Structure 1
Amino acid sequence: MLLGVDEFGHAIGCSPRSVRLWESKGIRAHLNPSSKRLLEREYANLNEAGRQRFEAALEQAGRLPQATAEPATRIQISVSSQQGDLLATFDGLRLVVDQTLSRCTVTPARVELIEERVADRIRTYTTTPPAVALAEIAPDFFEVQTISEERQPAAIQARLSELSAALGLLTADALMKLGEIGRANTWYGTARMAADDSPNRQLQATARAQHAMLPYYYGDLGKTIALARSAQELLSDTACDATALAAAAEARALARLGDQAGAEQAMNKAQRLTEALPNTGSDEAFRFNARRLLLYMSGTLTYMGRITRARRIQDEALQLYRDTPVVIDPALIQLDTALGYAMSGSADDGCRLAEHVLDSLPDEHRTRIVATRAGDVLDAVPTGHRLLPSAASLRKLISAEAAG
């Protein structure tokens, strides 16, 4: 059945005006990617007889590109199997493959602009409240995902996967801070898949090292250790932000499990790797520096029972964080100090300090992650001291945070 221009346009979901423009320009017509997909879809739905009639009509109109035509003017054609010529069949197949490989819906310049915006997100993330960070991340993530749904050249696709991994890690971390544990865990998994879809092994290690934080604060310490070791195995003894973080995360989890020797060994490795890193004071996400090492050593030494050394480390760390806009890390260090008080028999001091930390935080940063660490202080208070007024007051504040 022959269709007029209007009927054909409506049948394929395209405007009749566009069809008339293609008809007037013939092989010189420029089709955007979505229009190409519409025509290719309709062509693919034709039976063999319909395709032969279509190709015959194009030949009669003088519009069928020759094999020597430029890739931009090629259209997908099907070489008839009735010819029995296998080589000719593969000539036709090559045209289709060339067209697929040359099709790209995004320019490198656009990807560079997205990379610049994502770099800005990474740079400001540690000083941004998690709920605000999620709102800022969403538009960039939607854009990357929309582009990724189309077939892109391998080099572009690898860059898009890296962007998805970075945005996924920021999303997971923000959700973790907000106490959305299940969602955070699935987003960490998504970020790891995206990282593994790229050839960037350091990013793959970063995704695992970052994921290791979630079970440390909210779940299975064994999983923290497994993820941290997996990150280190990806890069062996390479000194980079990911391996230093992973070693520090392993040390802190081993200390909490009571493995003193293992914690000591992992902590020494973290120190060695951190010392080999460039001396940077950057607070951007995914960077590991002396300040962050001290944060992890604070928890490691506290759980190892080395309270005096832990307090020296905590004082040093807080001094380094004093001139930065980072909010959460200093709060976690102070909660380690409060935990040390509770573990060493000064329950009242520990509870008072933990309550002070929660009260002092801006509302937008008073999230579940700090409430959980304050709860750890309460858990460390000896049974005989849990009726202290300071313990009761801290318990009430934590409950109010959970309810809110």
Structure 2
Amino acid sequence: MFSSRLSCQPDRIHRTLYTISTLAVSLAFTSVPAFAADLEPQGKPPVAIAIHGGAGTILKSSMTPEKEADYKKVLTHAVKHGYTLLQEGEKGEVAVVETIKILESSPLFNAGIGAVYTFNGEHELDASIMHGGSKNAGAVAGVKTIRSPIEAALLVMNESPHVMLSGKGAEDYAKENGLEQVDNSVFDTEFRKQALDKAKARMQQASNGYGLQRGNERFGTVGAVVLDSEGNIVAGTSTGGMTAKRYGRIGDSPVIGAGTYADNESCAVSATGHGEYFIRYNVAADICARMKYQGLSLNDAANTVVNDVLVYAGGDGGVIAIDAKGNVAMPFNSAGMYRASIDVNGNVKVAIYKD
């Protein structure tokens, strides 16, 4: 009876089978894009950032809890601000400059406001920036009246046919292009004035009336390195230089290859420490070259230069470095280094001492 009923309704059976078959095919094809999408990277392109506020004899035993909290607060604010800009799609050079400007505006660091004094009681500021994709770079050295030296370095990189401008010429160029000018006294702080007085008293006891800078007199710089959403890496550095420096001394911070370097094929580096050694050993570029030509990882290249080459030479300080995958290295051979980073997964690290 059942079979005869089916044979009497061939059209209904065919329609039912067709509907089931069509539905199955439809489900199969609509599920493929969803599965393929799971294999593709989710969300925005990876970005990362690392910053430093100088290396030197930084000991927990000589730091009050309040002062330590102040340092960490500014470092955290700066690194998060830069990271947010990167997440929003800002170019790496913009994130570097805006991050460093926060550090330049804090009296805690030796850059901009809070810059150390020269022997003659003034402030002479240096800064540089380099783009790892274009290999374009800009720097200013020995400037006294530019509110933000890192802004001036960016201006030179973007608008000038030159790489480095110095002194009054750099100030005139910045003024002609609308950068804020200030009196040199804007950078004064009592803490740095006391440091100058101590350094001069010691130095003038030397037989030649000059002597050598010691300890933290030689240190103090701020910097940032980033990986932006376009896959470019950028490095920038800004400093007030060396306490009680004379005769227009220029350190490594504005020297491309020594204190700042960036190359998309290897890494971006910003350095801090005894600048004369960083210049002699071409520290920033050396780290990138070891990655590019020896095939070393970022961590191995940075640690080799900072903890082997520099230590052997007698130089001290540290670097922050980042590669095109967003890996970060922050080695130093001094007692401490103010530093912070946010990796490609959004993990935040803020540190001062040798943890």
With structure 1 as the length reference, what TM-score do the two structures score? Answer: 0.26
Which has more radius of gyration? 1
Determine which structure has the larger strand proportion and give its number.
2
Determine which structure has the larger helix proportion and give its number.
1
